[in-house]
């Protein structure tokens, strides 16, 4: 039981490049989330998926798209990376959307030059 896994662990992009961050959970959770964390700051919600087939915007969705591929997987895509998107990205999951404990992955460190 690996919990929440994320790939890649680290990525460097040039401005304007695109990439997809992958997230998978093996806990049979219904809800999944993407956060970003800037240095010295708390986490901010980018997008979330209450259940398979649904996605909704969080606090800072601009510049991102998501796909809930199936119950296990929730990907985050940057279509045209900008230096302001340099951050650590965390994926999380929970049994349901009504605020049960969220379980976080190890994070993806993204540097946009």
In the complex, which residues of this chain contact other proteins (CB under 8 A)? 4, 33, 35, 40-45, 48, 50, 58-59, 90, 92, 97-107
| Shortest separation between residue 15's beta carbon and other proteins, angstroms | 25
Give every CB contact of residue 90 below 8 A, 6+ residues apart in sequence: 6, 34, 35, 36, 37, 43, 104, 105, 107, 108
For other proteins, the closer of residues 4 and 112 by Cβ is: 4
The reply to whether omega before 66 is within 30° of 0 (cis) is no
Closer Cβ to other proteins, 19 or 50, answer by number = 50
- Nearest to other proteins of 5, 17 (CB atom): 5
Q: Which is nearer to other proteins, 54 or 70 (CB)?
A: 54
- The distance of closest approach from Cβ of residue 101 to other proteins in the complex, given in angstroms and rounded to an integer, is 4
What is the smallest separation between the CB atom of 13 and other proteins, expressed in angstroms?
20
CA distances in angstroms from 57 to 40, 50, 64, listed in the order given: 24, 11, 10
């Amino acid at each position: 039981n690996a919990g929440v896994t994320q790939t890649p662990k680290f990525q460097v992009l040039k401005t304007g490049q695109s990439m997809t961050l992958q997230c998978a959970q093996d806990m049979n959770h219904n809800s999944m989330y993407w956060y970003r964390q800037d240095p010295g700051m708390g986490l901010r919600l980018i997008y979330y998926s209450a259940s398979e087939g649904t996605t909704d915007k969080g606090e800072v969705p601009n510049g991102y798209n998501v796909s809930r591929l199936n119950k296990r997987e929730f990907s985050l895509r940057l279509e045209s990376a900008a230096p302001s998107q340099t951050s650590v990205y965390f994926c999380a999951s929970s049994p349901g959307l009504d605020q049960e404990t969220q379980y976080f992955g190890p994070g993806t460190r993204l540097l946009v030059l």
